[in-house]
Structure 1
Amino acid sequence: MSSPTEQNRNSLPSGTIIDCYSIIKLIGSGGFSLIYLAEDEDTQDHVVIKEYLPKKLAMRNEAGLVQVCSEKQSDSFHNGRRLFYLEAKALATLRHPNIVNVRTFFLANNTAYLVMDYEHGKNLGSYIKKRNGGLSTTFMLTVFPGVLDALNLIHSEGQLHLDIKPSNIHLRPGGNPLLLDFGAVHQFATTRSRQSSQVVTPGFAPVEQYYASGYVGPWSDVYAIGATMRSCIEGKPPPSAIERHAKDSMKPIASLYKKQYPAFLLEIIDWAMEVDPLLRPQNAGIMLEALTQQLGRPANNQQSQLESTDSLFTEKHPE
């Protein structure tokens, strides 16, 4: 959440009408957007509105319009706004019970807006913090198959999420998960150098997301799912992939928690969190099958060892 000063400076005031929506309050913020609770004036439904407002590039003027902080940042702002709008358009085509439903998207106030259904529940990140980790096997097997199935649809549509972490998973009553925040969604195959607005979350982003030469793909989202699952157990983010790439001192979770959790679950987490992208499950579907069939990690997971080089995160996969 943003500070009160930041709210006063940037957010739309309560009661502001935009399109057919009345702003109720600011409920979140990130590096590139502000998130509001609002009401649909036609139906009286509560909705969530995401507004493109990158804090390093733009600000709101007294008239309520979004403007760039300086002319030299204009190209970056407009390119980011275009991507935000295209990504909103792409998300609006995804229909899945575990993906937040997009109602509409539009341009106003010199910026772009994404309107989503409001869902009751709690945030996984807050829940982990409150419980200090130690979430049960039953909980994990309730939440993550749905998230992986949603991710599998995203991957099958040729897209990547690239910002999976506990705070981007919403838990509806009964633990029914909802994957949130598609502001980072990108087409693949692509390198980081072509992703102007990418946010990297330490502990959850894989090594290839840190470098312009890094070749991201479905395997990148798989790493983030593994890291999110590990944090459900340990109650904290794992070490950053950069630290692990330099010197991996992170102990396999399969050895740390073998008395508390089934082996197949722990093996899948370790498999998903391999530093080398080639050694992970290559997409969400593979990880989903291993989890739901309780297969664990394949015993012959050596197929890519011979291909692996010191450049673990560079463009090795074919276009």
Structure 2
Amino acid sequence: MAPERNTGAGAEAELPEYAGHYQLESCLGSGGMGVVHLARSTSGMKLAVKVVHAEFAKDPEFRGRFRQEVGAARRVSGAFTASVVDADPEAERPWMATLFIPGPTLSDHVKRNGPMAPAQLRRLMAGLAEALRDIHRVGVVHRDLKPSNVLLAEDGPKVIDFGISRPKDSELRTETGKLIGTPPFMAPEQFRRPREVGPAADVFALGSVLVHAATGRGPFDSDSPYVVAYQVVHDEPDLTGVPENLAPLVLRCLAKEPEDRPTPDELMRELRSVAASYDTQAFIPAQRTADVTGPEPGEPEPRPRRRPRRKAVLPAVALVLVAVGALASVPLLDGGASAPRTTTRTTTAPSAAVGFGTWQTTPLATGMPQCSYSGKLICGQSGLVFALDPADGALLWRHSVATAPRSGPPVVSGGLVQPLTDQSRRLEALDPASGGTRWKRTMPAYDGLQPAGSMLLLTGADGQVTGVDSASGRTRWERRIPGQSIPYFASFAGDPLAYATSTTGDGLSTQVAAIAPTSGDVQWATRLRGTLKPFGVSGGAVYFLAIDKATGGTTAIVRYDVRSGAARRVALPVSRFGARATVRGNVVYLLAAGGSLEAMDMDARRRLWILETSVSRGSAPVAAPACVYFTAADGRLLAVDARKGTLLGQTPPRLGRDSGQVTATLPAPVLAHNHVYATAPDGTVFAVNARNPSAW
């Protein structure tokens, strides 16, 4: 990319001609830290390319935040955002390219056309609730939802700009000069305790955005951002001009305490009662454009009168500003640390066949444990590893670890319990009988950790892979994987190999290598077309999801036969976002965001069945001969007939008190002893009879 002569943040004397391979045609807009250009790819595709101002490109901390923004934007499916096509945070001038979405921002629309009509407001609120659900379910908090970050596309609103702060958009700064958001659209906790900000802050911002769309101003207005900050924390919102049937719901979004705000799913359910013709289970363009006007039966009561605002005095404002912490944009949510509480158990009579009963136990106050099975249930959550008796749920031992598990549940490898903590330098192995520490080791920083057989495979930021013996903690080997810059590893139960994948920057091909975990030797390697993610092995073949780099959706399933070297690609009838999959025999079961569960016959190259489960977000499915099981974000465990695709049973939701929190990764259920073991957001671990889902 051509350098610029002007290194300032204002108007630029010489614009760059290219960002990577993308030709920049015109300026779409400029903010405090970068310029967004209309650009075209070599094939002519329209893109929006954000190029960072030269002065910020010299700041290592800013580059780190930009990398975080790119990573967060890539995690989100693209259904309700601008999909990332390409990016280079390490370039002389960092840049990110996303699909160009025609349509004005909400801010521009309101400026040009005035406040929205009630029907438009309902559709906007529903679309933003959908977008937040999509964002939160991958463990991302936007933190800067505002009218200028909402694009009004033909198929509904799109949320953009994940994590770049814009100091010149506001005068409110911390002592280090770092902006923490846009004051009129920030939640109270962003001023009072910024380190505790979660998904509920985005819901507060949604409420403020709706007020702006309905009235042309925010619920807390002042020429001074400091006064706005005081009003957000202490005063009641001004909802004058918000339609009466939406005002109560907007008021709930603007609750001062995060736990009092609705979740995005609850918002969509509430909106369904506001407009009878609005369907929260299917969002298609025809429904977005269908106008609904006039009052409906059963509308909520008119909102209560606003309490008079208190005058913002300087000492109070100073207190608010002192409470403001450093910027921490777009964090992943792994569940807040929760103090362990006394385990409570409910059990039923054991099964006559195996001596195991159904039970539930709550070893944690909140948070969704991740569990694996190795003679006993080994679970981890919030800096804690514990073991449960699979027969009755009795707590066998508990052990605190340095950091919360992130890359998956604790596993038994090398005969010892291995708590998995990505991006931590400390490894620790526990005795599976007592939970006592057997060895500890401090490693160089690593970006990835994958158990494989009796080994732990650590991938460094430079692509170097280290093989650590699980039983002793000793390094067995260190090397790079030929043909792979930074490999990502996957391993599967019962398979002696680990699979390293590395996708080319253009997303056109993926290098795959099968590694012997004990030696690091490459057993075989191949290059396959497209961006591929391995999810299972069956019958001497490795299975992959094929992902469209532009949209992030899964478009096909690829089966690579190791013996013949042949690859079979079966296209999905419809691209699926947020897809998780498993394979049993020659059938792949795939669960997508929004609850679509489908079975694909890889031999016949056709779909066997599809079931719309209405689950907003689910775990990876687990397949047995007769049933497919998966966990929902609200704590339900569902069972589906593997042959017919009909729902056989489900457990009640178990959301708990922190229902506004979102777990970064939903743990899959565990099958053992003809029982299914699952966990829920309220901290519950439970067991049900796998053979009788209708009784759940």
Could you tell me the TM-score, scaled by structure 2's length? 0.35
Residue number in structure 2 paired with 1:127:
109
Residue number in structure 2 paired with 1:243:
230
Structure 1 gaps of 5+ residues are 60-65, 69-76, 186-192, 299-310
Shift of the 20–197 alpha-carbon distance from structure 1 to 2, 3 Å rule, reads: farther
The reply to whether residue 12 of structure 1 matches residue 33 of structure 2 is no
Residue number in structure 2 paired with 1:141:
122
1:176 aligned partner, one-letter code: G
Q: Distance in 1 between matches of 2:203 and 2:9?
A: 37
Deviation at 1:83, TM superposition (A): 2.4
Deviation at 1:32, TM superposition (A): 2.6
**Which structure: greater strand fraction?**
2
Q: Distance in 2 between matches of 1:196 and 1:280?
A: 30
Q: Distance in 2 between matches of 1:132 and 1:28?
A: 21
Residue number in structure 2 paired with 1:216:
197
Residue number in structure 1 paired with 2:72:
90
Residue number in structure 2 paired with 1:280:
261
Contact 1:23/1:38 (8 A) holds in 2: yes
Deviation at 1:297, TM superposition (A): 8.1
Q: Distance in 1 between matches of 2:9 and 2:52?
A: 19
SS at match of 2:126: helix
Q: How does 1:135-284 map to 2 (within 5 A)?
A: 135-173=116-154, 176-184=156-164, 198-211=179-192, 213=194, 215-239=196-220, 242-245=229-232, 247-248=234-235, 250-251=237-238, 253=239, 256-257=240-241, 261-263=243-245, 265-281=246-262, 283-284=263-264
Q: How many residues align?
A: 265
Residue number in structure 1 paired with 2:97:
115
Contact 1:223/1:273 (8 A) holds in 2: yes
Contact 2:145/2:205 (8 A) holds in 1: yes
Residue number in structure 2 paired with 1:44:
44
Segment drifting more, 162-171 vs 232-241: 232-241
Deviation at 1:275, TM superposition (A): 2.4
Q: Distance in 2 between matches of 1:52 and 1:199?
A: 18
Contact 1:200/1:210 (8 A) holds in 2: no
1:88 aligned partner, one-letter code: V
1:278 aligned partner, one-letter code: E
Shift of the 249–142 alpha-carbon distance from structure 1 to 2, 3 Å rule, reads: closer
Deviation at 1:285, TM superposition (A): 2.3
Kindly, what percent of the aligned residue pairs are identical? 21
Shift of the 209–53 alpha-carbon distance from structure 1 to 2, 3 Å rule, reads: farther
Q: How does 1:289-308 map to 2 (within 5 A)?
A: 289-294=269-274
SS at match of 2:44: coil
Q: Distance in 1 between matches of 2:254 and 2:299?
A: 13
1:51 aligned partner, one-letter code: V
**Which structure: greater helix fraction?**
1
Contact 1:271/1:297 (8 A) holds in 2: no
- CA offsets, 1:22-41, max 9 Å, x none? 1112222223322111111x
SS at match of 1:120: coil
Q: Distance in 1 between matches of 2:140 and 2:179?
A: 14
- CA offsets, 1:76-100, max 9 Å, x none? x212212212321231232242211
Residue number in structure 2 paired with 1:74:
none
SS at match of 2:94: strand
Shift of the 113–179 alpha-carbon distance from structure 1 to 2, 3 Å rule, reads: same
2:10 aligned partner, one-letter code: E
Shift of the 244–5 alpha-carbon distance from structure 1 to 2, 3 Å rule, reads: closer
Could you tell me the TM-score, scaled by structure 1's length? 0.72
Q: Distance in 2 between matches of 1:228 and 1:137?
A: 14
Q: Distance in 2 between matches of 1:5 and 1:246?
A: 32
Residue number in structure 2 paired with 1:26:
27
SS at match of 2:81: coil
